[in-house]
Chain A
């Protein structure tokens, strides 16, 4: 392949060669090259295969609007597909591959899809795969059969499956003026704002600032350099290159993606790959420029057909000449400038084919500069060549009627530069809520009057755009004429959609998928709409425009997740965390908390460990960290009254130094949360909530105090992190406390069930409440968070002679399942107090939140799902989430409920669980099945039993 590299000029550094690989072959380029410009300079024309028909495709454009040249980049085994070669900066060691081809780009077997064009026309998927089965090759089931093959044959790059090793971060920024785009207009806007003393952020999506100034001539380049060096010295100006503003949200909040280290390959330690910017701007200047459009005609997608301005950009900014022998096809004057510039950079411009009957003097002089034959009133009607353009066919053309006349003339060339007019980039204005207005002069959509929060400047506002002759399509025969290159949508597809009754542009878009590819139809929307308008016989503005939605170009999910994932993710550790780790606990992430799952001894499985731990609680004594429980300090003269309204049961009458188990409902009568609340003095309570609901319960109570009952004199303080808690459970628990608690007795008279005492353990003040989640005699010992490890160690020492063992979440779960206590798995937002057999807690003496709604017809229906116990009859392990059914595996019948929690019960020597089952109480004593067809594929016979497996009378915990 011959070099297409121009020896001088451009923003590449010819002293710094860069080696990279494309489709397994080694190439070299220069620093400052994109993958597209480096390959183009190496003579590569073929960049990819198209979406449906696998047609060979080359570069259409030079920037973010490129629809064809999508590649997959592999870094350290992590694949990232669908990256535009025109934006990908090369660096040493870059490995890129083309996409959607099999087995290789040059010999693609799937290209036969092109022969089946009729089959894949608009609506193919809907017509073939949706709806009822009529005949063998139709309907949704046929889709399920074909999906794998179709997904392989039609599509873009495949996503990787290995974890992404990169780091991402997020940045919040504030400014008076955000300027999007650093072309001449953007630079000028930034300069003015900075001169007024405003805080300015200037974002440029490309690597170098300057926009069109980088390829449209020396004057522009000098202007850009001068303004830039001025801006760089301003302390109030922040310049962000490689940063795409992709979303415009309410209140002038904008989202941007900065590609921090993609251009150097492997990031240095501490540097993120991408940075997600959230920018709150006082005012937004949209200086995003305009995009050139092509024409729709047969063979308009052949490699070698390129937008005129993009060809100029490759030649001038990157020193890469797209071809040697070029023909220009235009409906406006801007292409003549491109022709003259490309001639200057070494290309031969054979002819300029113009749809207009006459061409102005300025254009004539540029054509002369380019040394080109001007052919007015003509149009290109076809292209020839296989995977690379070898020539074009032209015919006489009447721009008024669109009629072709005269004989065909063939012109040999290797590049066809197309210029079908310009579309201002108004995506951000559209996202801001503005409805674009059609300009009959520029034949393009322009941003409307702004609401004052933003303004569009430069060619984004239509300034300086050459008015084109309104010709969008050359209706010649002889092959597919593409509108949307990335989704392979042809002009005939658009017309077919019209014939089938699609009138609205939004429907057209969805039916044909026009403009719905990763480029969102940046080069396709206006031609597509023009063809639809012609078919409907309406002017374009009456057909409408589509609303643009974020993101403008793709934003990496990693950047959006940022510090919520990986080493910057916050963690909540209990005060006794180090004790657990030292004791060999498996730490388990529960929300942000880390909690011990089980304390495995060498060689023990998790199940063996939790069964041992649970058994030890029943036989001797165990200790578990309960510091994660939500804790709310409730103080004030009306605290008792407030709790009476919040809880279903009575708390106003609770004596000081007593605790009570409480249940809260939502306003609609469903259960919200449960926990124990301790009365510490006449006007002070300590409420505990489940770990997961701590924040929610706080917010719930704050709402009522602020918005519903502001007359109640109550203050709430979250003290979850201020108290460390340990539950000591088992028949020997009292002996352990007796051995270490000072200043108070702990015998049954001093500390009866639900009693509270204050004392000291190893010098640290503690508060002890006798309550039980396990069903054994048990105590919760609370102390200040910083004393937590000290008190834990003291309890462990005091328990050593009583065989104390720490136990984790699994054993905690086992003990509570055996006892039939509920947690968040049962209080799941769909269950009522009755469903959970907690109706004994519903006071009839007072109203409380939810009391008015809890007795509604549907909530008292005996057929509701209610809590029962299940026992596996086959010895197989039950799975949480399994459905309860009546029938055997062959004919299971409908779901009657599900298993909410399961464990191996040391008490029964069997797998048991809790389940919510339709008409559950009536089923006790009968049998059914627990089925899990999707995951473990088990279908286990179970017996339904009372939900309290263990000590239903409670003698053990009261004793």
Chain B
């Protein structure tokens, strides 16, 4: 499998490490809502089809990427830097 890192270009899967489901958003640090924490830590949709996942280019630029991957065909339809995806709250430009 080849992932096209927006920084480094097309690279082999061996350079990347899977880092989990990118569709989740973490509750606020001080939140005591157990339901929300349980959902964040344990609940996974496991869709058959398009899925958004974190991959780190650990053997390259070390950036975290959000990869849109079809879990049935493994076809990759999008790769973006993680903070640029909306789950980000980056304030700096």
Complex Cα–Cα for A709 and B91 (A): 10
Q: Verify B64–A711 contact, CB threshold 8 A.
A: no
Q: Verify B62–A853 contact, CB threshold 8 A.
A: no
What sequence of 0s and 1s flags, for each residue 73-87 of chain B, a beta carbon within 8 Å of any chain A beta carbon? 110000000110001
Residues in A whose Cβ lies below 8 Å from that of B89: 709-711
Q: Which listed residue (A250, A645, A711) contacts B92, Cβ 8 A?
A: A711
Q: Verify B1–A706 contact, CB threshold 8 A.
A: no
Q: Verify B30–A847 contact, CB threshold 8 A.
A: yes
Q: Verify B64–A251 contact, CB threshold 8 A.
A: no
Residues in A whose Cβ lies below 8 Å from that of B64: 702-703, 706-707
Residues in A whose Cβ lies below 8 Å from that of B58: 699
Residue count of chain B within 8 Å CB distance of chain A: 34
Q: Verify B1–A853 contact, CB threshold 8 A.
A: no
Is the C-beta of A752 less than 8 angstroms from some C-beta in chain B?
A: no
**Interface set, chain A 712-739, CB cutoff 8 A to B:** 713
Complex Cα–Cα for A709 and B64 (A): 13
The smallest C-beta distance from B64 to any residue of chain A, in angstroms, reads 4
The smallest C-beta distance from A921 to any residue of chain B, in angstroms, reads 27
Q: Verify A852–B54 contact, CB threshold 8 A.
A: no
Is the C-beta of A518 less than 8 angstroms from some C-beta in chain B?
A: no
Complex Cα–Cα for A11 and B73 (A): 44
Of all chain A residues, which has the CB nearest B27? A852
Q: Verify B1–A708 contact, CB threshold 8 A.
A: no
The smallest C-beta distance from A843 to any residue of chain B, in angstroms, reads 13
Residues in B whose Cβ lies below 8 Å from that of A709: 89
Residues in A whose Cβ lies below 8 Å from that of B12: 172, 253, 280
Residues in B whose Cβ lies below 8 Å from that of A702: 56, 62, 64
Is the C-beta of A667 less than 8 angstroms from some C-beta in chain B?
A: yes
Is the C-beta of A223 less than 8 angstroms from some C-beta in chain B?
A: no
Complex Cα–Cα for A853 and B33 (A): 10
Q: Which listed residue (A703, A708, A710, A852) contacts B31, Cβ 8 A?
A: A852
The smallest C-beta distance from A283 to any residue of chain B, in angstroms, reads 14
Residues in A whose Cβ lies below 8 Å from that of B88: 707, 710
Q: Which listed residue (B2, B32, B56) contacts A251, Cβ 8 A?
A: B2
Complex Cα–Cα for A708 and B87 (A): 8
Known: A707-B64, A853-B37. A280 touches B2 (CB 8 A): yes
**Interface set, chain B 40-93, CB cutoff 8 A to A:** 40-42, 54, 56, 58, 62-64, 73-74, 82-83, 87-92
What sequence of 0s and 1s flags, for each residue 259-296 of chain A, a beta carbon within 8 Å of any chain B beta carbon? 00000000000000000000010000000000000000
Q: Verify A433–B83 contact, CB threshold 8 A.
A: no
Complex Cα–Cα for A852 and B40 (A): 11
The smallest C-beta distance from A433 to any residue of chain B, in angstroms, reads 7
What sequence of 0s and 1s flags, for each residue 222-258 of chain A, a beta carbon within 8 Å of any chain B beta carbon? 0000000000000000000000000001110100000
Q: Verify A852–B37 contact, CB threshold 8 A.
A: yes
Is the C-beta of A668 less than 8 angstroms from some C-beta in chain B?
A: yes
Complex Cα–Cα for A667 and B62 (A): 21
The smallest C-beta distance from B34 to any residue of chain A, in angstroms, reads 8
The smallest C-beta distance from A799 to any residue of chain B, in angstroms, reads 40
Residues in B whose Cβ lies below 8 Å from that of A668: 41-42
**Interface set, chain A 533-559, CB cutoff 8 A to B:** none
What sequence of 0s and 1s flags, for each residue 11-31 of chain B, a beta carbon within 8 Å of any chain A beta carbon? 011000101001000110111
Q: Verify B91–A711 contact, CB threshold 8 A.
A: yes
Q: Verify B90–A433 contact, CB threshold 8 A.
A: no
Residues in B whose Cβ lies below 8 Å from that of A172: 12
The smallest C-beta distance from A703 to any residue of chain B, in angstroms, reads 6
Residue count of chain A within 8 Å CB distance of chain B: 25
The smallest C-beta distance from A281 to any residue of chain B, in angstroms, reads 11
Residues in A whose Cβ lies below 8 Å from that of B56: 699, 702-703
Q: Verify B92–A713 contact, CB threshold 8 A.
A: yes
Q: Verify A707–B62 contact, CB threshold 8 A.
A: no
Q: Verify B90–A699 contact, CB threshold 8 A.
A: no
Of all chain A residues, which has the CB nearest B63? A706
Known: A251-B74, A280-B2, A699-B17. A710 touches B37 (CB 8 A): no
Q: Verify A853–B29 contact, CB threshold 8 A.
A: no
Name the residue among B17, B27, B88 with the largest chain A CB count within 10 angstroms.
B88
Known: A250-B1, A253-B1, A852-B27. A706 touches B37 (CB 8 A): no
The smallest C-beta distance from B9 to any residue of chain A, in angstroms, reads 13
The smallest C-beta distance from A569 to any residue of chain B, in angstroms, reads 17
Residues in B whose Cβ lies below 8 Å from that of A853: 37, 41
Residues in A whose Cβ lies below 8 Å from that of B1: 249-251, 253
Q: Verify B32–A852 contact, CB threshold 8 A.
A: yes
Complex Cα–Cα for A852 and B34 (A): 7
The smallest C-beta distance from B90 to any residue of chain A, in angstroms, reads 4
Q: Verify A711–B19 contact, CB threshold 8 A.
A: no
Complex Cα–Cα for A703 and B19 (A): 8
Known: A645-B29, A702-B62, A702-B64. A707 touches B82 (CB 8 A): yes
The smallest C-beta distance from A712 to any residue of chain B, in angstroms, reads 10
**Interface set, chain A 657-696, CB cutoff 8 A to B:** 667-668
Name the residue among A249, A250, A707, A847 with the largest chain B CB count within 10 angstroms.
A707
Complex Cα–Cα for A667 and B42 (A): 10
Of all chain B residues, which has the CB nearest A848? B29
Residues in B whose Cβ lies below 8 Å from that of A847: 29-30
Residues in A whose Cβ lies below 8 Å from that of B31: 852
Residues in B whose Cβ lies below 8 Å from that of A711: 89-92
Complex Cα–Cα for A699 and B83 (A): 16
Complex Cα–Cα for A363 and B87 (A): 71
Complex Cα–Cα for A450 and B64 (A): 34
Q: Verify A703–B62 contact, CB threshold 8 A.
A: no
The smallest C-beta distance from A664 to any residue of chain B, in angstroms, reads 15
Complex Cα–Cα for A132 and B74 (A): 42
Residues in A whose Cβ lies below 8 Å from that of B83: 706-707, 710
The smallest C-beta distance from A848 to any residue of chain B, in angstroms, reads 8
Q: Verify B40–A667 contact, CB threshold 8 A.
A: yes
The smallest C-beta distance from A479 to any residue of chain B, in angstroms, reads 47
**Interface set, chain A 838-896, CB cutoff 8 A to B:** 847-848, 852-853, 856
Residues in B whose Cβ lies below 8 Å from that of A250: 1, 13, 74
The smallest C-beta distance from A933 to any residue of chain B, in angstroms, reads 36
Complex Cα–Cα for A931 and B82 (A): 50
Of all chain B residues, which has the CB nearest A847? B29
Complex Cα–Cα for A54 and B21 (A): 53
Complex Cα–Cα for A707 and B42 (A): 18
Complex Cα–Cα for A433 and B73 (A): 8
Q: Verify A710–B2 contact, CB threshold 8 A.
A: no
The smallest C-beta distance from A729 to any residue of chain B, in angstroms, reads 35
Residues in A whose Cβ lies below 8 Å from that of B26: 708
The smallest C-beta distance from A126 to any residue of chain B, in angstroms, reads 32
Q: Verify A706–B41 contact, CB threshold 8 A.
A: no
Complex Cα–Cα for A253 and B87 (A): 32
Of all chain B residues, which has the CB nearest A710? B90
Of all chain B residues, which has the CB nearest A251? B1
Residues in B whose Cβ lies below 8 Å from that of A856: 34
Of all chain B residues, which has the CB nearest A702? B62
Of all chain A residues, which has the CB nearest B36? A852
Name the residue among B32, B37, B74 with the largest chain A CB count within 10 angstroms.
B37
Complex Cα–Cα for A856 and B17 (A): 30
Complex Cα–Cα for A117 and B5 (A): 60
Name the residue among A249, A253, A847, A852 with the largest chain B CB count within 10 angstroms.
A852
Of all chain B residues, which has the CB nearest A668? B41
Complex Cα–Cα for A668 and B41 (A): 6
Q: Which listed residue (B2, B30, B82) contacts A706, Cβ 8 A?
A: B82
Ordered by A's residue number, 20 sampled pairs between the chains whose C-beta atoms are within 8 Å are A249-B1, A250-B1, A251-B1, A253-B13, A280-B2, A280-B12, A433-B73, A703-B19, A703-B54, A707-B19, A707-B64, A707-B83, A710-B83, A710-B90, A713-B92, A848-B29, A852-B27, A852-B32, A852-B34, A853-B41
Q: Interface of A with B (CB < 8 Å)? A: 172, 249-251, 253, 280, 433, 645, 667-668, 699, 702-703, 706-711, 713, 847-848, 852-853, 856
Known pairs A706-B63, A711-B89; list 9 more (Cβ under 8 Å): A251-B74, A707-B87, A709-B89, A710-B88, A710-B92, A711-B91, A713-B92, A848-B29, A852-B37
Closest 5 CB pairs of A and B: A710-B90, A251-B1, A847-B29, A706-B64, A250-B1
